Amino acid sequence: MSKYINLSYRDALKSAIREALKNDERVFLMGEDVGHYGGAFAVSKGLLQEFGPERIMDVPLSESGFTGSGIGAALAGMKPIVEVMTVNFSLLAMDQIINNAATLLHMSGGQLNVPVVIRMGCGIGRQLAAQHSHSWEPFYAHVPGLIVLSVGTHEDARGMLLSALESPDPVILFEYTSMLNLEKEIPEDAGAVDIRQAKVLKQGKDLSLITYGTGVYKCLEAADILAGEGMDVEVIDLRVLRPMDEETFLTSITKTHRALVVEDAWRSVSISSEVAARIMEKAFYELDAPVERLCGVEVPIPYPKHLEDASVPQVYDIVEKVTKMLRP
């Protein structure tokens, strides 16, 4: 049996980067303050001293410039890990990501692969206010040519990067800043994970809770509370937002016949919109009740803690919503 170790989300991310650098000399990390400063969130702290400035590369404050450099390095046979400090800064690199990384394979008639991995600090919950608090996974999940992954658990924080680096296509990794200090037990030998499928984290028969990112641990906690009240819910971590693994949640619906989709992103034109639409298109006759959603309130994220908490679904919101769905 595997031994388990207690690891913070931050250290799981760092451990994955370190292993990737050790495994392949083509891998390097580039981004703002990733070297001497150790990363804006200390994820890369100590790696410059361990691997040197050619593998841990500080770059100028130009997201378009250094993301484009990463794409060029990938085209030239390297395996760059491009770190965008927070997801809002990625808007400055969207031309490179969407018009170059995502399209070159198609526009070259299959001649040019772009094996770049772009990591983005994401999410809500560290009082970073409207400038830096965003759940913009739906923006990127809309784009053909990208693989979009949500790092919602510690095992995925340890393993998704390693698998992403094996992809011939560009991968966007959403990492959640509110979880950086959170500690969980993972197998000591945890490594690369499957980045093609969603994952059922808890089996249940009464309702399917479908989520990703920071919603994962919230839904698992809510499921434990609901179990104490006699309600048995299934928890699914979508993990792969593009190409979405619909088979996992559609299979779950055939068992539970009810669904609640939970996410921090704004409700309009969201991941939950897509999930709900696919359930209605492909599993309508399996439903005993309408698909429901719990999403972020459609306002710029406030700075005060109590307002920030109120702007995205919390555990008690999930418990209350499921209770109303199962015991109207």
Catalytic residues: 63, 132
What's the CA gap between 74 and 164, in Å, rounded? 13
In sequence order, the 6+-apart residues with CB closer than 8 A to the CB of 136 are 87, 88, 90, 122, 265
- At 124, which amino acid appears? I
DSSP state of 240: E
> Which DSSP helix (H) or strand (E) runs through 274?
helix 271-282
User: Is residue 136 exposed (0-12), middle (13-18) or buried (19+ Cβ within 10 Å)?
Assistant: middle
φ/ψ of residue 283, rounded to 5: -140, 25
Joined together, the tokens standing for residue 255 give 């068992």
> Which DSSP helix (H) or strand (E) runs through 185?
strand 183-187
Joined together, the tokens standing for residue 18 give 């370190």
The strand pair at 199-202 and 233-237 is best described as antiparallel
Query: Which of 211, 224, 223 shows the shortest CA–CA distance to 264?
Result: 211
Joined together, the tokens standing for residue 175 give 């990492």
Q: Is 15 left (phi over 0), alpha (psi -120 to 50) or beta?
A: alpha
What's the CA gap between 195 and 162, in Å, rounded? 10
Cβ neighbours of 127 (radius 10 Å): 15
The residue count for the chain = 328
- At 198, which amino acid appears? A
User: Three-state SS for 197?
Assistant: coil
